[in-house]
A = this chain, B = another copy of it.
Amino acid sequence: MNDLSSLRAVYDGRLLTEPADMAPFLTDWRGKWTGRAWAVAQPDTAGQVAAIVRWCHARRIPVVPQGGNTGLSGGATPDDSGAALLLSLRRLRRVREVDPLNNTMTLEAGLTLLEARQVAQSAGRLFPLSLAAEGSCTIGGNLATNAGGVQVLRHGNARELCLGLEVVTAEGELWSGLRGLRKDNTGYDLRDLYIGSEGTLGVITAAVLKLVPPPAAQVAAFVAVASPADAVELLQRAQAALGPRLTACELVSDVCLGLVERHMPACRSPLARRSPWYVLIELSEPRDEAAALAALASLLGDALEAGRVQDAAVSSSLAQFKALWALRENVSEAQGAEGRTIKHDIALPISRLADFITRTDAAIAARWPGLRLVTFGHLGDGNLHYNVSPPADRCGPAGSADAAWFLSHEADLNRLVHDAVAALGGSISAEHGLGVLRRDEAARYKSPVERALQAALKQALDPSGIMNPGKVM
């Protein structure tokens, strides 16, 4: 049934079947999940994608779509049955259109986010999606997982940056919804249904993405605050004073800063004294840097005077701007260098965020003394990477007794954190999606009505259940 010659007959692109060729596609980049596939298809066009899915649909062969394979939730790794075809979209790499006057570009799914940003830049525009994996994650994957990142406060998630989609349906038909329109009320919102569905309803092959004029100047401030509550107060103050010129507002704990300084010797706090928490503020100006610096100075002056801020350093060059951002962007890697990590990608109403940190920190400290809380994230979006590291004296490598002890508490720790999130009206997956990692937990926190609605949508758009089975649902 799964005969390769009949699949080879429907498209003339790449088809990998040798274990060594397939291996890079069958393990996620962190090595957390490994699966099997009977083949890896690498089509070159959307038409080829449709032919492959049509072929799989006729034979009820599961299809696992994959972009840059940089996901954090196991959404792009097949299970270990070996029944699935892995469908890599990385060779769909055409720039279909760039329209600076409409502030849009139409790209195929396999371009990386970095390439997408470069296409925008060449047209004198900014594509504002920005995240750590941008050199290897793809536009298709960004949309399939509704990626977030550091500019969501101002520009929204991947969802908000997409005007139109081209999708191969679960039955192998090509839907062209590549509309470059800000307004279109002509039926149900298919676009937003496919965005964030992690390849379980169809395959995104191209998208119309929003562009914005690039800012003329960007400045950043690294600000010491006494508590999460003061960090939230500073956010509110910055929103009022700067309006949409506030383009990022990130939270970093002193534990995080300490790890970055330990593992990245080039990274140093610009402040003379330590503080339990820091806020990184980024301000973008359409015209000139002087106005940006003046606005930032005025904001920080007011906050210092009100006693809600302890100290602050403001960037006065691009190098300094990058150095301040490096303190935030290196947290995840620095934590990784410290041994195993347990990660939580959670979102909360911003009004509950400080309360959440205080109470959950205390609950964890009471139950597991010595565990280190490595808390940072996108304050302006209410999105915390509420991560946990083992005690400093129990950081043994993978496979050690220390690591086994630490990971034996993972399920209980997840339960404690996610119960607290749910109790405050939050989300247990803010920007990383469900994949297999959070699938069952997500179901636990959803009402029966919501689970039934989700199942009805899956059934409607993928009636034979071949699209990325076992993910999300």
Q: Which residues of A contact B (CB under 8 A)?
A: 99, 101-104, 145-146, 148, 152-154, 156-157, 159-160, 169, 173-177, 179-190, 192-193, 195-197, 201, 212-213, 215, 232, 236, 239-245, 284-287, 295, 347-352, 378, 380-383, 425-434, 438, 442, 445-447, 449-450, 452-454, 456-461, 472-473
Contacts and interface: CB of A to CB of B under 8 A. Distances in A.
Nearest to A427: B184
A88 B242 CA distance: 41
Contact of A457 (B102, B186, B454, B460): B460
Given A101-B232, A101-B350, A146 B185 contact: yes
Contacts of A287: 241, 295
B175 A449 contact: yes
Helix, strand, loop or mixed for chain A's interface?
Answer: mixed
Given A101-B351, A186-B428, A188-B193, 10 more contacts: A148-B183, A157-B183, A174-B449, A176-B447, A186-B446, A187-B450, A189-B192, A193-B457, A241-B287, A287-B295
How many copies the complex holds: the figure is 2
Nearest to A214: B240
Nearest to A459: B460
Contacts of A160: 156, 160
Contacts of A449: 169, 173-176
A245 B262 CA distance: 42
Contacts of A347: 181-184
Given A460-B456, A461-B453, A188 B196 contact: yes
Among A154, A196, A285, A445, find the residue whose CB has the most chain B CB atoms closer than 10 A: A196
A24 to B, nearest CB: 26
Nearest to A174: B449
Nearest to A441: B186
A183 B381 contact: yes
Contact of A429 (B175, B186, B431, B432): B186
A213 B182 CA distance: 23
B472 A187 contact: yes
Nearest to A457: B188
Given A175-B453, A213-B243, A244-B243, A349 B185 contact: no
A379 B281 CA distance: 33
Contacts of A425: 179-181
A447 B174 CA distance: 10
Contacts of A232: 101
Nearest to A383: B183
A434 B187 CA distance: 7
A339 B157 CA distance: 46
A197 B188 contact: yes
A246 to B, nearest CB: 9
A401 to B, nearest CB: 35
Given A176-B447, A190-B453, A427 B157 contact: no
Nearest to A232: B101
A192 B160 CA distance: 12
Contacts of A352: 102
B442 A186 contact: yes
A442 B156 CA distance: 29
